[in-house]
Structure 1
Amino acid sequence: MESQGLETGPFTDVATIGGGTQNVLLRFTRGGREFVLRRPPRHLRAKSNEVLRRESRLLAALNDTAVPAPGLIAACTDETVLGGAVFYLMEPIEGFSPAVGLPDLHASDASIRHGMGLSAAAALAQLGNIDYEAIGLGDYGRPDGFLERQVPRWLSELESYSRNDGYPGPDIPGVDKVAAWLEQHRPAQWTPGILHGDCHLANMMFRYDGPELAALVDWEMSTIGDPLLDLGWLLATWPDGSELNALVGALSTAGGLATPAELIAHYGEHSDRDLGAVSWYTVLACFKLGIVLEGTHARACAGKAPKPVGDLLHSMTVRLFEKAAALLE
């Protein structure tokens, strides 16, 4: 911190921040300023440091844009400073996660809960509007062939789960049918942009004083791709009275949310992208996220994750493929 010209003195008010991520988040004060430190898990995975390097680069690029994202203060890409882990410091976010609970204002006012979804849709449109090359992210992803890669990439991921001892294989109705439909109906034209990659409500923080989005968080799956997949992801994970409600329990229980049609319309008010294939992107989001969640179920079968968590995520996977199958009609 001192080599970066940041505040000096003792570290005070050090506290961990929860929220479901496997990365470590710490909030602290130094020199009268509050910071949040983000680093990989204690037990590093093969790509943990690279993911954090990418995140810090993206957040630095977004600092001077209007996209609601954590403000990057400084990043340390030297793995030796924390004994093998890179890390970065960001500004604290004044907001709450709807996955944790709702403040009284939001719990008591359906119009505010309705506005939360619209604010999220507008923010995703805003992210997709950014000229990523102009802010230095021209090599942040591989947009060429992005949509063509999706189905083979995630079918391969699903197949890889068989390496987990005790996993009987994917019991997911409709996988092949959904995959074939996606390949047959893939949009021919699209415009690359920044993709958050995992933009459900649990990865968003909202302001305490109203419905506005305070920040999109957890950018681990970000890349340069088709931003309409973010809209599809929001729609795929939108509370619907099923197991998916577990993503944002308090908010889904309270009700009063915008409808999927309202989310699409509001996105369209803030973007000039062609929304004619929104159903395709929603099906792709169901397909991709369902396979991602099934990975934890496979690990749970092998004793590498808690069985109740694996069972819940498998039920979410099945629900996502049910939602995808309904959209095929």
Structure 2
Amino acid sequence: MASLAIDQVCKQFGPVDILRDINLAIADGEFLVLVGPSGCGKSTLLNIIAGLEPLSSGHVRIDGQSVQHLAPKERDIAMVFQSYALYPAMTVAKNIAFPLRMRGASATEQAAKVKQVAELLQIGHLLDRKPQQLSGGQRQRVAMGRALVRDPKIFLFDEPLSNLDAKLRVDMRTEIKRLHQRVRKTTVYVTHDQVEAMTMATRIAVMKDGVVQQFGSPAEIYERPANTFVATFMGSPAMNLVPATARLDGSRAQLAIDGTVLTLPLDGAPPGLLREGQALQLGLRPEWFQRTDAIAPHQATLDAQVEVLEPTGPDLYAALRLGPHEVMARLPADAAISPGTTARFAIDLGKALVFDRDSGQRLV
């Protein structure tokens, strides 16, 4: 295993900044996910870690040692690509053993390690087949096996599940997480899928336009997003953002939303956090809506027009209209609610987040 540190890494292609001052650090055995929309720079950063792309400035350190001047083969890493990159003329066994042959390992050592990896990935029955005889999920297991057999310090995954159908993506996501729990290798995983990021990572770096917007645990990213981009990108359905205006009533902070005034519980918040008339956005996760008339401490009730219902099996997604604003609620499947009616919902304002409307930064 190995620690990984990325210090002040920048990358330019001509006059264009692709990565700007990236600083990340993960300990031995952690699973880091780089997540963000297409073009945010996450794959470029992965290639810099791998040595496939030179950086413009900064340092990449493995176990405290700078590696940016080392060739990819000297960094003791293994990479699993989106396209599998298997040799079509070779059997599964020969594909897995290829890195060992390049190292000059004996036939006995190759056979032993291929068997060990095949058993771990449950592909022992596929060793004599060619890649074209395999399903997408089986090919991905072979690609993982070829990386595993090297026993590297760090694993790098570049959107390895993007070519698979929805069900197989879920299955392989579980397999990769199970594999990490078994081998405990430091892993960096690139994806644009926030569900993959939330379910697989021990740490997440959310990226946009070459900048890390937030770096933390899945719980930190989800519960305390740094800004509106992170808040809406991480979570499905996305966090609702409702325009509001700050109102100060003595020591109390209030939000005015189209004539409705909500009092925020800001115990322990620094004085002057909000200013009178400040343009804000109230952040509400869909699952924070409750279909109830009862009001608990820190709860407020809102009346909303029910527009569309989307049953998913375990949940019921409800598109609601709060004045001119549309929001999404995630309710129990048996919620008593009908389209075209007005319903009352309770919201725990102790969980609510408040963002500055101009900067997008979270204030509360």
TM-score range, shorter chain: under 0.3
Q: Which has the higher contact order (CA 8 A, sep 6+)?
A: 1
TM-score (norm 1): 0.25
Q: Return the index of the structure with the highest Cα Rg.
A: 2
Q: Which has the higher strand share?
A: 2
